[in-house]
Amino acid sequence: MAQSKSKGRKTSFSILEQFSILGYLFQFAAKQWWRFGLSIALMVASSSIAAYLPIIIQQFIDERIATNSVTIQITLTVAGTYLALIIVRMVLVYIKDYLFFMASEYTVAEIRNNIYHKVTSLNMEYFNQTPNGEVVSRVTNDTETIKEFWNVFLQFFDGFINAATVAVAMFSLNADMAWVFMAFLPIVFMLIYFYQKLSTIVYRRMRSALSRVNARISESTSGMWLIQQFNQSERMKKEFKEINDEYVEARINMFRMDALLLMPAISLLEQVVLVIVIWIFGSQILNGTALDIGIIYAFTSYSKSFFRPIGHMISSLSIYQDGLVAASRGRDLLANDKLMPEQVGVESLTDIDGTVSVKDLSFTYDGVQDVLQNIDLNAGKGEMIALVGHTGSGKSTIINLLMRFYEFNRGEIEYDEASIRDYPYDVLRDDIALVQQDAFMFYGSFKDNIRLHGDYTDEEVIAAAKFTGANHFIEALPDGYDTIISEGGSSLSAGQKQLINIARSVIRKPKILILDEATANIDTESEMYIQQSLAKIRETATMIVIAHRLSTIRNADQIYVLHKGHLIEQGRHEELIEQEGTYFNMYQLQTLQGIQ
C-alpha cells in the first residue's frame, strides 16, 4: 500500500503550483529577511567588483601600455588596486555565503520544528495509515532537501547577478559586441528548458531506484533471521543486485545527461562566442579600424564570466525540482487536518479520581461502517472491569477512545461524571496509564526506560521495579539498573519487557490503569509477577483490562463481552458462566485446550 502511495505522489508542478510552494517556503524565510537581504546586497557588490576587474586591466593596457606611458609607480598602483579589490571581493563572498547559509539553516530548522510539532499533534489515524519511515522522512530527509533547495536560490541569484553585472560592463565598453553575447541567450534558455524536462524524469527514476535499494536493505536486515532460516540468502543477493543495478543505471543516465547538457554545453557556447568575438575584432583590424587591445582582453575574459554562472544555474535545476517535491510534502503535512481531538480544558478539573462511565457510545473510523454501537460501560473507583471478545469485536477501539486518541460524535465518555472532552490532556495523560501488548524499549539504561525522563529519583525507579517483580532479573545483571538496553529491547524476553512496561505506569501512580492484552505471549514466570503486581495496583487504581486468557480476569468486578461492535453480555465470571452464552463457550474452549 505504501509503495503504491509513493508512486502516485506528485513530482512535477505547474508554474502556479511552483509559486504556491515558493510562497510557503518564503513564509518561513520572512524572519531571516535581513540576513537574506544583506547576503543579496553583498552578492551584488562582489559581482560588480568581479565585473569591474577586467576593465582595470583593459584601461591599463589601452591607456598606459598602448601609449608607452607605463611607469613603476603606475604599475604598482594598478596591481595594488587589482589585488585590493580581489581581497575585498573574497571577504564579501565569505560574508555573503555565511549569512545566506546561516539564514537557510535557521529557516530549515523552523520548518523542521513546525513539521515535528504538527506530527505530535496528529491523531492515531494518521500514524495507522502512514508508514513510520515516511513520517521520519518528512521530518529529516525532506527538510535536508529543502536546505539544498535554498542553496539553489543562492546559485540562481549569484548566476543572475553575475551575468547582469557582466552584461552592464560589456555594454559600457562596446554595445555592438555585447549584443553578440545577448544573441546566444535564447539558446541558453532552450538549454535550461530541455534540461529541466529531462532532469525531472531522470532524477525521479534515480530517487525511485534509491528508495527501492533502501527498502530492500531495511527489509533484509530486519528479517535476516528468516532469510537465513529458510536459506534465502542467494535469492536475496540476486534480487538486491538487480535493484542496485537499476539504481546504477539511473545514476549513469544522470551523468550522461549532465555531461551533455551541463558544463560541456555551456563551455561549447562560451568557446563559440569567443571565436566570434575574435573573428569580429580580427576583421575590424584587417579593415583598418582602430581597435584598443584592452577591449579584446576584456571581452575574452567576459566570455567565461558571463556563461559560467549560467552553467551553475542549470546544474542546480534537478535539486530545485527535488526541493519542490520535498517542500510540497511538508506543506501537505502541515495542512493535514487529522489532529488530536480538541479539549475544552476546564480549569477546575485538575485530576481524576477513578470513576469511568461510557454511555451509549458509537464510533466509526471511516464515517461509514460503525465498529462500535451503543456501548455502555461503568467502573467505580478501585474496581476492575474486563473487556473480552473475538478479534475485531471492538475492544481496542474502546481503549483508544478512553485514551482520547480519536474523536467520537455519538455517545459520551465520562471520568468522575465529567466529559472526557473537559479534561486537559496533561490531566488525562498523568492520571490514565495504558499498558499495551507490545512493550517498546528505548536505547538507554533500565532506569531511563522506567523513568522516561520523568522527575523520579533512583529510589522511586527501584521501588517501581520491585513492585512489578522486574528487580529479579535487573539486579542479577552486572551493571544492574545502569545496564544499557538496545533499541527495541532485543536482548530482553517479551515478559521482561512487559514488566518494565508496567513499572513505567506504576511509578506514575495512575488513577486508572488500562491493560491491552498485557499478559499475552509471555512466559509463565513473568505472568505470575504481572498478576501479583496487578493485584497490588488494584488497591489504588481503577483497572480496565482486555484479556485473551479468561482465567486472568475471573476476579473482575464486571466482565463485558463484545461481538462485532455490540455489547452482548455483561456480569461477573460466575454469572456469565451460568448464562452459558458466548463467554461460557470461550471459557470452555480455553479450559479444554489447557487440559489437552
In terms of CATH architecture, what is 11-335? Answer: Up-down Bundle (1.20)
Q: Which of 225, 49, 9, 320 is nearest to 138 (CA)?
A: 9
Q: Which residue has the cell 583598418?
A: 288
Is 3.40.50.300 the CATH classification of the domain at 356-595?
yes
Q: How far is CA 420 from CA 397, 412, 413, in A?
A: 16, 8, 6
Confidence of residue 411 (pLDDT cuts 50, 70, 90): very high
Confidence of residue 318 (pLDDT cuts 50, 70, 90): low
DSSP string, 339-363: BPPP----TT-----S-EEEEEEEE
Q: Pick the more confident residue, 295 or 593.
A: 295
Is pLDDT above 60 for 5?
no
Is pLDDT above 90 for 85?
yes
Domain residue limits, the chain: 11-335, 356-595
Confidence of residue 361 (pLDDT cuts 50, 70, 90): very high
Give the integer Cα–Cα distance in Å for 147 and 319: 10
- Averaged over 303-309, what is the pLDDT? 79
Cα of first residue to Cα of last residue in the chain, in angstroms, is: 41
pLDDT of residue 2: 39
Beta bridge partners of 420: none
504: left (phi over 0), alpha (psi -120 to 50) or beta: alpha
- For residue 495, count other CB atoms closer than 10 A to its CB: 22
Q: Would you say the CATH fold of 356-595 matches that of 11-335?
A: no
Q: For 224-270, write each residue's pLDDT tens digit.
A: 777 777 778 888 889 889 989 988 988 888 788 777 776 777 778 88
Q: What percent of the chain has pLDDT over 90?
A: 28
Confidence of residue 11 (pLDDT cuts 50, 70, 90): low
Q: For 422-465, write each residue's pLDDT tens digit.
A: 999 889 988 999 888 777 888 889 999 999 878 889 999 999 99
pLDDT of residue 383: 93
Q: How far is CA 366 from CA 114, 363, 369, 371, in A?
A: 28, 9, 7, 10
Is pLDDT above 70 for 342?
yes
Beta bridge partners of 358: 377, 413
pLDDT of residue 82: 92
pLDDT of residue 595: 38
